[in-house]
Amino acid sequence: MTSNDMDYLTIALPKGKLFDLSASRLAKIGYTAEGLSENSRKLVIANETEKIRFIITKTADLPTYVEYGAADVGIIGKDVLLEENKDVYELLDLKFGFCRMMVAVPQALKQEKLTDYAHMRVATKYPRVAESFFHGIGIQMEIIKLNGSIELAPMVGLAEIIVDLVETGRTLKENNLVEVAQIHPATARFIANRVSFKMKFDRINKMVEGLKALVESEGKA
Ligand SMILES: Nc1ncnc2c1ncn2[C@@H]1O[C@H](COP(=O)(O)OP(=O)(O)OP(=O)(O)O)[C@@H](O)[C@H]1O
Ligand SMILES: O=P(O)(O)OC[C@H]1O[C@H](OP(=O)(O)OP(=O)(O)O)[C@H](O)[C@@H]1O
């Protein structure tokens, strides 16, 4: 950590669904910067007055930036934390970005028991989570890692089964897939680098308190 890094609090935000939800909440409690936008080509955006720096990362990479201290804190989905399994502090459930990690299959392939899917091919963006779920119920599967549009895989015979995030259920429905098990629910979490949490305790703690109050007020609304 350089002395310049010590002056600034670096906040990582993920591109995609959680960006606006996160940036708008942080702005409400006083953490923002001019030009902060998901579509900005600039990936580091500073607020010199407040000594805050935002970095914008790909969703799956965010925990890595925080683990290595390239960002002091960040906001990311619980699903990504479980998949990436990085050494970071999870400080707060922000209670937005609700979704759930599910196992789904084409209606026609639905089996009586989960163990009846043994040895089938599973398409997913979350191989570690999928592997550990099936291991937990005592069956072995062939995991096929994809980077998106997972629902396509069973429709074209790439896999029999999928593990993916479901929010409204619309994508599953439109592709004739049905949920057969829930692996875990997920929401956005506020995370911190372990060293930063000690070295910048006052600043990070103040941020946690601000977010906590916001989560509580949103819960009551
Ligand atoms: N309907 C949803 N589908 C996927 N993720 C959702 C949904 N609702 C909330 N989320 C949360 O939003 C996070 C980011 O989702 P998003 O699809 O934007 O990211 P991504 O995986 O980086 O996408 P991309 O592959 O396009 O870069 C997820 O990790 C999850 O925590
Ligand atoms: O239950 P729903 O409300 O339909 O939402 C779930 C869908 O949204 C996500 O995909 P996303 O739009 O992020 O695209 P991707 O498949 O390319 O990751 C997720 O992977 C599902 O496909």
ipTM of this complex: 0.95
Handedness of CA 160, 140, 61, 76 (dihedral sign): positive
Q: What is the percentage of the chain residues whose pLDDT exceeds 90?
A: 93
Does 148 contact ligand 2 (Cβ within 6 A)? yes
Burial status of residue 164 (CB atoms within 10 A of its CB: 0-12, 13-18, 19 or more): buried
pLDDT bin (cut points 50, 70, 90) of residue 1 is: low
Ligand 2 atom closest to the Cα of residue 164 is 20
Going along the chain from its start, the domains and CATH numbers come out as 3-97+187-220 (3.40.190.10), 99-185 (3.40.190.10)
pLDDT bin (cut points 50, 70, 90) of residue 221 is: confident
* Average pLDDT for 13-25: 97
- pLDDT of the residue at 4: 57
- pLDDT of the residue at 42: 87
- pLDDT of the residue at 59: 97
Burial status of residue 83 (CB atoms within 10 A of its CB: 0-12, 13-18, 19 or more): buried
Neighbours of 4 (CB within 10 A): 8
Could you give the CA distance from residue 89 to residue 211 in angstroms, rounded to a whole number? Answer: 16
Secondary structure letter of residue 1 according to DSSP: -
* Average pLDDT for 129-139: 97
* Average pLDDT for 72-86: 98
Does 52 contact ligand 1 (Cβ within 6 A)? no
Which residue, judged by its Cα, is nearest atom 30 of ligand 1?
Answer: 77
Ligand 2 atom closest to the Cα of residue 16 is 13
**Would you say 156 and 34 are in contact if contact means Cβ atoms under 8 Å apart?**
no
pTM here is 0.95
Q: Left, alpha or beta for 38 (phi > 0: left; psi -120 to 50: alpha)?
A: alpha
pLDDT bin (cut points 50, 70, 90) of residue 96 is: very high
Q: Which two tokens stand for residue 35?
A: 């030009």
Could you give the CA distance from residue 75 to residue 92 in angstroms, rounded to a whole number? Answer: 10
Does 97 contact ligand 1 (Cβ within 6 A)? yes
